Amino acid sequence: MSGFDDRKKAAEARFAHDGELKFRAEARRNKLLGMWAAEHMGLSEEHAKEYAAEVVASDFEEAGDEDVFRKVSGDLKAKGASVSDEAIRLKMTELADVAKQQILSEV
């Protein structure tokens, strides 16, 4: 029975670890996206960091990526930046890969 319990604990630990990595990668992606959007909005470095933190926080509004997309899209449009919704979604996908690689390299 001990072998089964050990495998179960290992599987639970792996699941928790994978969940943590996913969470960290999504938060990193959102930060990178915020910095990218801030550049398009012409924000200073200080304001860009603050804005990136707002983008990260916006991800807690609902499950999925739509809350982050709506924030960035709305803010870019409000600032008059000419970035299409398709470009934002493409950048989100691109930065998800970048963030995952960054997180994995830190582990």
Q: Which of 67, 77, 73 is nearest to 91 (CA)?
A: 73
Q: Is the pLDDT of residue 22 over 70?
A: yes
Q: What is the pLDDT of residue 55?
A: 97
Percent of the chain at pLDDT exceeding 90: 70
Give the span between the Cα atoms of 70 and 44, in whole angstroms: 22
pLDDT level of residue 46 (50, 70, 90 thresholds): very high
pLDDT at 48: 97
Of 56, 28, 50, the closest CA to residue 38 belongs to: 50
- pLDDT tens digit sequence for 60-102: 888 889 999 999 999 999 999 999 999 999 999 999 999 999 9
b/e map 63-96, b = 16+ CB within 10 Å? eebebbbebbbebbeeeeeebeeeebeebbeebb
Distances (CA, A) of 105 to 28, 56, 83, 96, 102: 13, 21, 31, 14, 5
Q: Which domains does the chain have, with CATH numbers?
A: 2-106 (1.10.790.20)
Q: What pLDDT score was predicted for residue 1?
A: 58
pLDDT of the residue at 94? 97
Percent of the chain with pLDDT strictly greater than 70? 97
pLDDT at 39 over 80: yes
